[in-house]
Amino acid sequence: MPQIAVKKLKATNNSKAEMEFAVEVEVLARVRHRNLLGLRGYCAGADQRMIVYDYMPNLSLLSHLHGQFAAEARLDWRRRLDVALGSAEGLVHLHHEAAPHIIHRDIKASNVLLDSDFAPLVADFGFAKLVPEGVSHMTTRVKGTLGYLAPEYAMWGKVSGACDVYSFGILLLEIISGRKPIERLPSGAKRTITEWAEPLIARGRLGDLVDPRLRGAFDAAELSRVVECAALCVQGEPDRRPDMRTVVRILRGDSDAVPAGPGGGKGGRPPVRIESVKYADRLMEMDKSSSYYGEPEDGDEEEEEEEEDIDDEEVEEYSLIDDKSSMNFGAFGAMPVQTMHDPYAKRFSSGNANNAVRI
């Protein structure tokens, strides 16, 4: 008998939570793809809001990289590449094949579910945006998870398909390295995954990026391809990022898919470089998900029981554009809105280790 998973909405008396519930149901009803989580049913009673999906026996990518299955190393190199490619193909459907096109806005490890065969299904469309015909980008309040947010989205609320591409690039680095998008160092400082990866990539030490749990069992050519793809995806300027169709071609090994110009390592061009993101201290203080690399977080087992609903990374909502309210609510409970008073400065600098975007 097929198993199901039920996501129950909290705070049903809140208009924003209601909106996110309605958006998720609408998006789920529109999309049909092997790498997108489908809708089994929903309940919108007087005091109940629930969404019914197929149950995913292997929970999420997060649970295997950082959660209850992390120590078991079930995700070998081949499975990791398959998860990356399948997730990318799901995003291709959202960005280019669905009508209207859909921007997910919250691509992260906990929103990639894994079925019994470890096939990936992109899930959780509560923050999704349906893009009207002829519209290339929109400006909106910023929702998502710190560490995955594209610079133009975090700074100015400009959302487009390129925002999902950026988040996917971070996800690629997370898949190959087993590290979180933001980690806390022993000194107490926090570091993004791009800050960690940038010097290793600049020195050509790609093997040092690979999750040690794989014990060296990876393909060097495939690793180079995935790292190059990630570097292209996380470029600071959205117009320079590939679209998801190109990302799929790169991951499949199509050498012609790598765009010409800086950032590509093909045909005698300079080796790949990655642009690291440095979040402002105030944003870093809002992050609840970072941990010392390799150390379990308190309460991991308890949190993972609710993997289908929410992971140990807080779903944040930021008011980076205006100061109209001091509190807002996401679909899964109360989340404080932090208003930034200082203007954001975007900094591109040359050099191997200082190619950074400051947010």
Of the candidates 154, 131, 151, the residue with the CA atom closest to the CA atom of residue 142: 154
The backbone torsions φ and ψ at residue 102, rounded to the nearest 5 degrees and listed phi first, read -130, 130
First to last CA, the chain: 49
Signed CA dihedral, 115, 91, 109, 316: sign only: negative
**CA separation for the pair 327, 62 (Å, rounded):** 28
Residue among 54, 82, 106, 311 flagged as catalytic: 106
Of the candidates 113, 116, 107, 59, the residue with the CA atom closest to the CA atom of residue 83: 113
Of the candidates 52, 82, 76, the residue with the CA atom closest to the CA atom of residue 64: 76
Amino acid letter, residue 52: V
Asked if 217 contacts 250 with a C-beta cutoff of 8 angstroms, the reply is: no
**CA separation for the pair 261, 259 (Å, rounded):** 7
Q: Is 323 a catalytic residue?
A: no
Q: What is the DSSP string of 168-185?
A: HHHHHHHHHH---SEEE-
**CA separation for the pair 249, 232 (Å, rounded):** 13
**Residue 41, Cβ density class (10 Å: 0-12 exposed, 13-18 middle, ≥19 buried):** exposed
**Could you give the residue numbers annotated as active site?**
106
